[in-house]
Amino acid sequence: MTAEVDDLITQYGIDRKRIPNHVAIIMDGNGRWANKRLMPRNFGHKQGQKQLKKTLINCVKIGVKVLTVYAFSTENWRRPEEEVRFLLKYLKKSIIEEIDELIEEGVCLKFLGDLKEFDQKLLDMIETAEERTKSNTTIQLNVMLNYGGRREIIDAVKGYLKAGNSIETLSEDDLSAQMYTALVPDPDVLIRTGGDVRISNFMLWQCAYSELFFIDTFWPDFEIDDLLNVVQQFQSRDRRFGGLS
């Protein structure tokens, strides 16, 4: 752990033994961040990508084990074609440029969502990136791509039935096992940046008992202080899961 982050953790009074295991982020506000600077929306997406890399490294430093980020929703196809094209092109570029460093940092990379709608080139890149990082254990980064919580639930039910199971015996555990995130525990923390207070179809099943944080900061401005602030508040919350404290 670098001295700087170490100091900040102490400064924030954070208990290192109670760091959230899984942090999920709705990285919102790229477009408005750019508009505020009289720049095109895509400039905001570029900056957002840089911020993701910084946040990933910060999560490693504080000991988060799973980081799940909303990169492209099933509804984001409604945006102008030019913006969608940019987002996908930039994603390809980022995978190529970042993969070696991700391996060095011990990141296990997963792309989760309804991926079949993407072109073969992107699918091949995703497969290679996942293959090359699959035995890394420092942190798992789930990049949610063409992801929709409702679609995921429908697909999970279909997957369960296709495996020859009966609807009569369907349990919560069965459905959890069919989710894209089946192999990781549910998020402890869900952060949405950008000031809007909604879920926008993100991890509807998995966030049933996550601690929610809605913050006004636009995603490209999300820094270590914002992250530590969330962790500090997380540690002061009483998670009852329906029981009594």
Which sequence positions are flagged as catalytic?
28, 76
**Binder of ligand IPE out of 194, 206, 222, 230 (CB under 6 A):** 194
Per the CB < 8 A criterion, the answer to whether 208 and 190 are in contact is no
Full 3-state SS string of the chain: CCHHHHHHHHHCCCCHHHCCCEEEEECCCHHHHHHHCCCCHHHHHHHHHHHHHHHHHHHHHHCCCEEEEEEEECCHHHCCHHHHHHHHHHHHHHHHHHHHHHHHCCEEEEEECCHHHCCHHHHHHHHHHHHHHCCCCCEEEEEEEEECHHHHHHHHHHHHHHCCCCHHHCCHHHHHCCCCCCCCCCCCEEEECCCCCCCCCCCCCCCCCCEEEECCCCHHHCCHHHHHHHHHHHHHCCCCCCCCC
Per CB under 6 A, does 31 bind ligand IPE? yes
Question: Residue 69 touches which of Mg ion, ligand IPE, none (CB < 5 to 8 A by kind)?
Answer: none
Query: Quick one: 175 or 199, whose CB is closer to ligand IPE?
Result: 199
Q: Beta strand pairing status for 139-147 and 189-192?
A: unpaired
Tell me: does residue 28 bind ligand IPE (CB under 6 A). yes
Query: Judged by CB under 6 A, which of 9, 49, 62, 70 binds ligand IPE?
Result: 70
What is the distance between the alpha carbons of residues 165 and 159, in angstroms, rounded to a whole number? 9
The only residue of 9, 19, 24, 27 in contact with ligand IPE, by rule CB under 6 A: 27
* Smallest separation, CB 224 to Mg ion (Å): 23
- How far is it, in rounded angstroms, from Cα 25 to Cα 203? 10
Stretch that binds ligand IPE, among 56-64, 65-73, 124-132, 204-212 (CB under 6 A): 65-73
Residue 149 interacting entry, from Mg ion, ligand IPE, none, C-beta within 5 to 8 Å by type: none
28 forms part of the interface with Mg ion (CB under 5 A):
yes
Is 26 a binding residue for ligand IPE by CB under 6 A? The answer is yes
At its nearest, how many Å lie between Mg ion and the CB of residue 199?
A: 13
Which of 78/116 has CB closer to Mg ion? 78
| Binding segment toward Mg ion, per CB under 5 A, in 4-12, 25-33, 69-77, 80-88 | 25-33
Judged by CB under 6 A, which stretch of 2-10, 103-111, 169-177, 195-203 contacts ligand IPE?
195-203
Kindly list the residues in this chain that would bind Mg ion in the complex (CB under 5 A).
28
Kindly list the residues in this chain that would bind ligand IPE in the complex (CB under 6 A).
26-32, 70-73, 76, 87, 194, 196, 198, 200
